[in-house]
Amino acid sequence: MPQITGNFEVKLTPQPAAEGIEPANLGRLTLDKRFSGDLSAHSLGEMLSAGTEVKGSAGYVAIERVTGTLCGKSGSFVLMHTGVMHRGQPQLQVQVVPDSGTDALQGLTGTMGIQITNGQHLYTFEFTLPQ
């Protein structure tokens, strides 16, 4: 399975809660990302998060549509995030939504890892594309 790495920049913008669910006390944000490297792309998405009374425990879900080029092939695909922090111990899963690839990225499958080191956002993307 091919694996690529690169950087990304992300802008998170807080959004108001959907009408009627304010008491749930959830965070809602829009995502605006720019990927560089073998994934040269722009993505837009939304994120929901929830914290707890215990320091270092929280969860989030997000979905974003990525549009650009992957190893020179153009198209778009959707990434789905599921993240949990249990008393400071993170678990994160980011995967391509099945059958979300378009144009030259039709049939794309894969998973993405995200690291934040010294304020720099890095990704590792393992994927397959049909021939």
pLDDT in tens, 88-99: 999 999 999 999
* Range with lowest mean pLDDT among 23-27, 33-37, 102-106, 122-126: 23-27
What token pair was written down for 48? 């929901």
pLDDT digits (tens, 9 = 90+) for 3-12: 999 999 999 9
Tell me whether residue 39 is in a domain. yes
Tell me whether residue 19 is in a domain. no
Question: Which pLDDT score is estimated for 130?
Answer: 86
Find where tokens 């010294």 sit.
118
Q: Please state, in angstroms and as integers, the Cα–Cα distance from residue 91 to each residue in 46, 60, 121, following that order.
A: 19, 11, 17
Tell me whether residue 20 is in a domain. no
- CA atoms of 71 and 68, how far apart (whole Å): 10
pLDDT digits (tens, 9 = 90+) for 3-61: 999 999 999 999 999 899 999 989 999 999 999 999 999 999 999 999 999 999 999 99
Cα 85 to chain centroid distance, Å, stands at 16
- Which residues have a Cβ under 8 Å from the Cβ of 118 and sit 6 or more positions away? none
What token pair was written down for 53? 């009374």
Domain extent for 82: 3-12+26-128
CATH number of the domain enclosing 54: 2.40.350.10
Domains: count for the chain? 1
- CA atoms of 129 and 131, how far apart (whole Å): 6
103 φ/ψ angles, rounded to the nearest 5 degrees? 50, -130
